[in-house]
Structure 1
Amino acid sequence: MGRENRDFHIYFFPFMAHGHMIPISDMAKLFASQGVKTTVVTTPLNAPIISKATQSSKTCSGGVEVKIKIIKFPSVEAGLPEGCEHVDSLPSPEFRTNFFKATSLLQEPLEHLLLQENPSCLVADVLFHWATDAAAKFDIPRLIFHGCSFFAMAASDIVTKYEPFKNTSSDSDPFMIPDFPGEITMTRAQVPDHVKENIENDLTRMVKRAKEAEKTSYGIVVNSFYELESVYADYYRNVLGMKAWHIGPVSLCNRNNEEKALRGKAASINEHDFLKWLESKEPNSVVYVCFGSVAKFNASQLKEIAMGLEASGHDFIWVVRAEQDYDMEKDEWLPEGFEDRMEGKGLIIRGWAPQVLILDHGAVGGFVTHCGWNSTLEGIASGLPMVTWPVAAEQFYNEKLVTQVLKIGVGVGAQKWVRVVGDSVKKEAVEKAVRRIMVGVEAQEMRSRARELAEQAKRAIEKGGSSHSDLNALIEELSSH
């Protein structure tokens, strides 16, 4: 970067949920590593999470420190308990509406900061639809961070616009996404509720406003790389006419174990314990099972997963959210004697795990995932075949990309889009899917395709790679704005 960009200053404003904060922290590190003055705006209780994840930015050669600006979170004003500043800390899902209300009250304090600091650009989460207006008041370009793939953004736009699911006679009838590359099929049951039911509520209103804000924003930054979904990146930009830059996989800015361990919450297990456990395993022999920071399963579904993993015969690391819903102490969600039988074969992590650290380990050979985009891309960057188990959000679209386009994964058979609690899948399906990605000719073919994509991902972020070039083109364009 030339000296003329010294004054260039980029602001990041992530939504208060791990799936949004983690990639934005990575993105902030990425800009800082290019010598760009970078600030993340967040609230008091979220600041330590961001600060921990970005602290290594200043150790990059030519990198600068990521600064943090704090604005107060209006929990009490929005009818939330004091100190509730993160989706994770909501006492129950009913409070989600209050949480969204609280985030909309952040517009004024954000505008106050923009007036004071006058940054060159604001990258704000898609859920802050009002950020486009806030930035426009000070003639600051607002970029949107969606946290999705090009494929999912484009597919979801088409399905919302043309409503092809209306031509099906039942929930399980397949339809093809019209005017969309790749002959992608899905069913009505897999389409998000707010798309097919035309319900008016806080969530649907927010999605609508976010769509409108997209049209007037400066463009979109995408955590993806061109080689992964070039057809859909071109389609999104040229056919749907959206201005977008791909700068991912942003997780690859974490080079060493320490950086990988510092993303997100504090791990619920000592890093050395599970690394030692993994060291004792053969290459590609362990399945990693994790469903992200939002999806939940009831006790009977957890039991099916446990029985399926046991029957598959493969070693595994399984991350289970430490929820008040499952009595973690009594472990009633586990089959009788499960942990004794799995001694040395299976490791259950209750709570939070440093995912990238585990995925990158040579002993790990497959990934059972809910298909959140962060997880999907982290799995791809680690070169792993996947069992896809989508639950909500845009996860069914990501599943189609993994299974129908990239052909590096197999579906477990989840059929229904649900807001939080996952679809019921039987142990036989879990066992069969795990075996399909771990052993046999099909598994080898998926693994070699996934490995090739992982190589391309690493090249994309190196100097001269597609994501590195897009990042620099974006910095150039914004600094001359």
Structure 2
Amino acid sequence: MDPTTIATTTTAVLTTKRSNRSCRLVLLPYPLQGHINPMLQLANILYSKGFSITILHTHYNSPNPVNHPNFNFVPIPGVAEEKYPVSSIDNLISLMRYLNDKCMGAVEDCLERMALEDEGVACLVTDAQWFATQSIADRLKFPRIVNWTSNVSTFLTFAAVPLLRDMGYVRKFTDQEKRSDALVSGVELLKVRDLSSFLTSDPKGASELMELLVLGVKPAQAIIWNTVKELEELELPKLSHDFPSSHFLIGPLHKYFPPLSSSLLTQDQTCISWLDKQAPNSVLYVSFGSLAGVEESQFQEIAWGLANSKQPFLWVVRPGSIQGSEWLESLLDGYLEKIVEGKGYIVKWAPQQEVLAHFAIGGFLTHNGWNSTLESICEGVPMICSPRFGDQLTIARYVTDVWKIGVELKNGLERVEIEGAIKRLMADPEGLEIRARVNNLKEKVNNCLKKGGSSYSSLEDLVNYILSFKGGIK
């Protein structure tokens, strides 16, 4: 296979009946919800192709082996045994540094022991955020494949960080720049006002880690992408040119099998019963994912923007996601009475894939994490975009400006703008046009998994690629 091309040409037709169980793959997920889910989805896909699967994981946010009886789970001794705080982007940066600096010895010891077992190790598959594992793979002579849990476009934006630094953007931004719609030269999709959130409150630290991520991906023998060729055709030539590995676009991973029981939070199923009583396409689903938080004032703005829109809504308010509050205690008197009237339903966590597939859902107010965005596209649900940090800015730009399947909250979380965006999406003619575009995209994305589709073919190529390895060391 030509490593400089996107691997979508089927070289052989495989079935799940062929047994490759003697070929063991070790998968190392990054210990956050948005990374654990796609890695376990990938594990199920590879297991269905006959591979033996071992999940190497931290104690922190450990997957539950009971929910995945087909896999062997191996904890990394001593690594992140305590609960690690990840309530802010600064905490996320600290976690990534800790795992890639302090934990490599323990990871290597585990892999070396597994290499000496009867099964050996055919291949190591790591989340991209374990960027320091390439040196371990090199020393142990393991082929290493990276699982990039976001899309190609965000990866190329991360790869442009040195250019952003050369242009003077890796710094604090003025108030005027935070409102600027000027496009960034060399990263044309992003606007200047996006960069302050893209680079976070610690521009230097964030940019350094983005560079390390890209440098950790570049020497990998292959990269697995939870995305679809048809979504990112324009970016693929640059990807192949700048990163001459083998690339396998096999997404959307969550559509291969029914939803996994891998949520780190308890899902409230009562919201499905509530949705069953609502009219088709009438409910706005609101969730900012498993990490993003809001200030108390922003929470108030969301609350009243939702109430004033007069549109039914299902709102996920994750405990601890509001600064200074445990849960709903910061809501003003009288607000919950509006909820009781039946216009809204609030839960601590929801079965998101089931929610987005429900007939009552007509829109999604989202932070634009890639998992959420891809799930929304797969169910034909248009979006209101309120990205918080990192890759979410690039994804939101694609949703609003490239695919045109959503609207943007340009001024952040303000009640008047939230109310207006809901009406645009759910009640105005513009919303019907957006819905038509996202349904067209839904059909394209779902077709890619059918026999002969781009993701179907790329998965077959990935299986053959892994089988070409000689089994690692024993």
Deviations 1:181-205 (A, max 9, x none): xx52411552556599763x5x655
Unaligned runs of 5+ in 2: 1-13, 470-474
**CA distance in structure 1 between the aligned counterparts of 2:164 and 2:82, rounded to whole angstroms:** 42
**Residue number in structure 2 paired with 1:38:** 53
**Residue number in structure 2 paired with 1:405:** 402
Instruction: Tell me how many residue pairs correspond in the alignment.
Output: 444
**Residue number in structure 1 paired with 2:447:** 459
Mapping for residues 268-307 of structure 1, pairs under 5 Å: 268-269=267-268, 271=269, 273-307=270-304
**CA distance in structure 1 between the aligned counterparts of 2:425 and 2:47, rounded to whole angstroms:** 38
**CA distance in structure 1 between the aligned counterparts of 2:442 and 2:55, rounded to whole angstroms:** 29
**Residue number in structure 1 paired with 2:44:** 29
Contact kept? 1:165, 1:175, Cα under 8 Å: no
**Residue number in structure 1 paired with 2:266:** 267
**Residue number in structure 2 paired with 1:427:** 415
| Structure 1 residues 336 and 102, CA gap change in structure 2 (3 angstroms) | farther
C-alpha RMSD over aligned residues? 3.1
Q: Secondary structure at the match of 1:216?
A: coil
4+ residue runs over 6 A deviation: 92-95, 195-198
Q: Quote how far apart the aligned CAs of 1:314 are.
A: 0.7
Q: Quote how far apart the aligned CAs of 1:266 are.
A: 4.0
The match for 2:211 among 190, 208, 212 is 208
| Structure 1 residues 298 and 425, CA gap change in structure 2 (3 angstroms) | same
Residue 237 of structure 1 pairs with residue 225 of structure 2: no
The match for 2:74 among 69, 73, 90 is 69
**Residue number in structure 2 paired with 1:78:** none
**CA distance in structure 1 between the aligned counterparts of 2:200 and 2:247, rounded to whole angstroms:** 24
Residue 135 of structure 1 pairs with residue 150 of structure 2: no
**CA distance in structure 1 between the aligned counterparts of 2:85 and 2:32, rounded to whole angstroms:** 6
Deviations 1:104-155 (A, max 9, x none): 4533333324423432211111121221111122322111122211111123
- Structure 2 counterpart of 1:119, which letter? V
Q: Quote how far apart the aligned CAs of 1:275 are.
A: 1.5
Q: Quote how far apart the aligned CAs of 1:339 are.
A: 1.5
The match for 1:146 among 126, 145, 148 is 148
Contact kept? 2:59, 2:76, Cα under 8 Å: yes
Contact kept? 1:151, 1:233, Cα under 8 Å: no
Mapping for residues 328-477 of structure 1, pairs under 5 Å: 328=326, 331-343=328-340, 344-350=342-348, 352-414=349-411, 424-477=412-465
The match for 1:13 among 21, 28, 36 is 28
Contact kept? 1:263, 1:354, Cα under 8 Å: no
- Structure 2 counterpart of 1:476, which letter? N
**CA distance in structure 2 between the aligned counterparts of 1:70 and 1:197, rounded to whole angstroms:** 32
| Structure 1 residues 297 and 197, CA gap change in structure 2 (3 angstroms) | closer
Q: Quote how far apart the aligned CAs of 1:360 are.
A: 0.9
Q: Quote how far apart the aligned CAs of 1:425 are.
A: 2.2
Contact kept? 1:12, 1:124, Cα under 8 Å: yes
**CA distance in structure 1 between the aligned counterparts of 2:93 and 2:123, rounded to whole angstroms:** 35
TM-score, normalising length from structure 2?
A: 0.84
**CA distance in structure 2 between the aligned counterparts of 1:430 and 1:113, rounded to whole angstroms:** 54
Question: What is the percent sequence identity of the aligned residues?
Answer: 28
Contact kept? 1:107, 1:130, Cα under 8 Å: no
| Structure 1 residues 341 and 398, CA gap change in structure 2 (3 angstroms) | same
Q: Quote how far apart the aligned CAs of 1:385 are.
A: 0.4
| Structure 1 residues 384 and 303, CA gap change in structure 2 (3 angstroms) | same
**CA distance in structure 1 between the aligned counterparts of 2:466 and 2:101, rounded to whole angstroms:** 31
Contact kept? 2:20, 2:52, Cα under 8 Å: no
**CA distance in structure 2 between the aligned counterparts of 1:99 and 1:10, rounded to whole angstroms:** 21
TM-score, normalising length from structure 1?
A: 0.83
Moved more, 447-456 or 18-27: 447-456
